[in-house]
Amino acid sequence: MTRNFSAWPIYALLGILSAPLAIMYLFLVIDTFTNAPPGSLIPNEFTFHHWRFLWDPTVTGDVWGPTLTTFLFATSMVVIVLAISSTAGYAISRLNLPFRRFFLSGIMVMHAFPSVTLIIGVFLVLQYAGLYNTLIGVILVKASLMLPFGVWIMKGFYDQVPWEIEMAGVQDGASRFTVWRRLILPQVTPGLLSLGIFAFIDGWSEFMLPRILAPSANFQVLSTYLNVVSDPNSTTYNFNLFKSVGLYYTLPILVLFVVFQNRLMNIFGGGTKG
Amino acid sequence: MQVTLKNFTKTFDDTTVIDSMNLAVNDGEMLALLGPSGCGKSTTLFAICGIHRINGGQILFGDRDVSDVPSQKRNVGVVFQNYALYPHLTVFENIAFPLSVRGDSKPDIEREVRAIAALTHIEELLARRPAQLSGGQQQRVALARALVRKPDVLLLDEPLANLDAKLRLEMRSEIRRIQLETGITAILVTHDQVEAMSMCDRIAIMNKGEILQIATPTDMYRAPVNKFVAGFLGNPPIVMLEGRTSGDGRFLVKEGTSLPLPARLAGMPGDTPLSLGVRPEHFGAAGANRVEGTISFVEPQGRETLFDVTLDDGVVLRSIQPARDDVVFGQKVVWPLDAEKLLAFDVSGRAV
């Protein structure tokens, strides 16, 4: 990139604008490791006391159970969303389906639909199917709400793969399935990767659906766990503890994002190569 | 393997693109399907390889009717215009793909790929990926991949269109060499007359879904069956003059000039409307008749020089001659016209 003007005014402006956010995050991290005297922001004591929930289940209840459940939840999301989006996206992009236009517009509408408005219907369906208050039920609902997005994104990636490659594969004697698996799928891996990460993050951070669709279940995910910790009426209420649990909950997402941020940006370009 | 199309018909929705076409490609022959874009030549190619399902007629490979055989089982090698190499595989894996799909053993694949790479001169590229190859190299890889499982027919869809001029020249002779060495029956689709004429044994020229003429390049150039063929072949193109016969062996151009008719047409009754085609090499070189005019355009092309000569009544004839700079713009010239080589077409465009 060439520089036609000096960049520092822009950095300064952006720095000032994002300072509140940065300071907030900074204090989030500092507060989990320190204690400050009442009425002051400046900490005067370093401590691991607020992280004791990791090894002491008496503080807020067991944290590893919810962690495992959340991980299971997010991973199931990845598996379901990837499996269905990679095949459905291909079908919509390439196959001469009956009602293809209907599917396409259906996906668009579903994509734009606020999921909250569906919650009563979803509740009834789950109740009827006997999946209310179960982890599987929540996973299925969350995954299906994400599918329109996933299918649409994957369709975009498949659209970028030239037709000729597919025709060449068929001419080389491969079945349509082999062509898809060995020739087309490897070319949409950037899409699969970023969609997978999105699905994971989305599953990891989901709060509303477990809360509403499994309120009295015998499992907790980290978001609902955090909700319990943050209840000001509870006997364990402690602001720094709440922050520590929150930070613990956010960490995997931060790590994922830092590691894969370039890949994630790529999803909005529809897979165009930079 | 001989390829035969019998009453081949192809429609897209309600439009009939090709209506009962017949074509026979001889064993070991390289045939060009030549025509302007939209004439149905690629459609024909894709029907032969099975990408398009045909709506009527038959496609035969030898005696085998393949009309309803899926692409995978037709054993046809195709080189696409953009080569369609698999970008995530190395050159070796690209070429090996058809064999590995067929389930050949590892040593067999290794041997076959090496052999075909030697034929197409790409042995040292086998470890690279398509993105690391030049256009000409990609072309060679595409050719190797199409040939590696010894197909009955090789189809080439505008294989040279994406190459620059110099590479095009090189690949033209390379493709021909490989075709001759393997003795494979090949069909080349192109809109470039030079490619068709220089690479192929015979040309089938197409327009609007119809084959107008099938002939060897020289025959087609010398004796085109109609005006379209005459105009399509030849660069710089033929000049068409509209007019009528005079009845005494001459031809009166609409604008007024009188030109001689070839001897074979001298007996034509007077006042017959005709189009007379004058190829640039038949004006200004040799011949018994003299035509006078003014040089109105000079285009030096190095080895040759192209002239436009405007006759007194405004008719423009084109002449191509070995490079000369003794004639300049605006100069009056009297040049010979080889009347025997002129082409004549009746009102419907058919050659007479």
Interface test with A, best of B45, B69, B78, B94 (most A CBs within 10 A): B78
Residues of B in contact with A167 (CB under 8 A): 51, 71, 78, 80, 84
> Per-residue pLDDT averaged across B57-78, rounded?
90
The pLDDT value recorded for residue B148 is: 92
Please give, rounded to a whole number of angstroms, the shortest distance from the CA of B299 to a CA of chain A: 41
pLDDT band at A3 (very low <50, low <70, confident <90, very high): low
pLDDT at B127: 93
pLDDT band per the 50, 70, 90 thresholds, residue A235:
low
In whole numbers, what is the pLDDT of chain B averaged over residues? 90
Question: Can you name the CATH fold of A65-269?
Answer: MetI-like fold (1.10.3720)
Phi first, then psi, for residue B252 (nearest 5°) are -100, 115
Residue-wise pLDDT for A47-70, tens only, equals 888 888 888 887 777 888 889 999
A164–B80: do the CB atoms touch at under 8 Å? yes
Q: Would you tell me how many other CB atoms lie within 10 Å of the CB of residue B55?
A: 15
Is 50 exceeded by the pLDDT of residue B96?
Answer: yes
- Note whether B216 contacts A: Cβ–Cβ < 8 A: no
Could you report the per-residue pLDDT of A214-232, keeping only the tens digit for each?
Answer: 888 778 888 888 887 777 7
Domain boundaries, chain B: 3-226, 239-345
> Taking all residues of chain A, what is their mean pLDDT, rounded to a whole number?
85
CATH topology of domain B239-345: OB fold (Dihydrolipoamide Acetyltransferase, E2P) (2.40.50)
HSE toward the beta carbon, residue A165, CA cutoff 13 A:
23
pLDDT digits (tens, 9 = 90+) for A144-168: 889 998 999 999 999 989 888 999 9
**Architecture category of domain B3-226 in CATH:** 3-Layer(aba) Sandwich (3.40)
A93-98: long-range contacts, CB 8 A cutoff, minimum separation 24: A93/A154, A93/A155, A93/A158, A93/A159, A94/A158, A94/A166
Contact B225, B213 (CB under 8 A): yes
Q: Which tokens hold the place of B192? A: 């470039």
Task: Name the token pair of B292.
Answer: 């006078």
**Which pLDDT belongs to residue A1?**
53
pLDDT over 80 at B118, yes or no: yes
If you write DSSP's letter for every residue of A84-149 in order, what string do you get? HHHHHHHHHHHS--TTHHHHHHHHHHHHHS-GGGGHHHHHHHHHHHT-TTSHHHHHHHHHHHHHHH
Detail the DSSP E strand segments found in chain B. Answer: 3-12, 15-25, 30-34, 56-61, 64-65, 76-79, 153-157, 185-190, 202-207, 210-215, 239-245, 250-253, 258-260, 273-278, 289-300, 304-310, 316-322, 332-337, 343-345
Partner A contacted by B57 (CB < 8 A): no
The residue ranges of every structural domain in chain A are: 65-269
**Is the confidence at residue A120, as pLDDT, over 60?**
yes
Q: In this predicted structure, what is the pLDDT of residue B349? A: 85
Strands B289-300 and B304-310: antiparallel
Q: Which residues, including other chains, have CB under 8 Å from residue B70's CB and lie 6 or more apart? A: B50
In this prediction, residue A151 carries a pLDDT of 92
Under 8 Å between Cβ of B175 and B163: no
The reported pLDDT for the residue numbered A274 is 34
Within 8 A of B102 by CB-CB distance, chain A residues are 173
Rounded Cα distance, A249 and A88, in Å:
32
pLDDT band of A13, cuts 50, 70, 90: very high
Alpha carbon dihedral B261, B248, B274, B214, in 10-degree steps, equals -40
Rounded distance between C-alpha atoms, residue A43 and residue A49, angstroms: 14
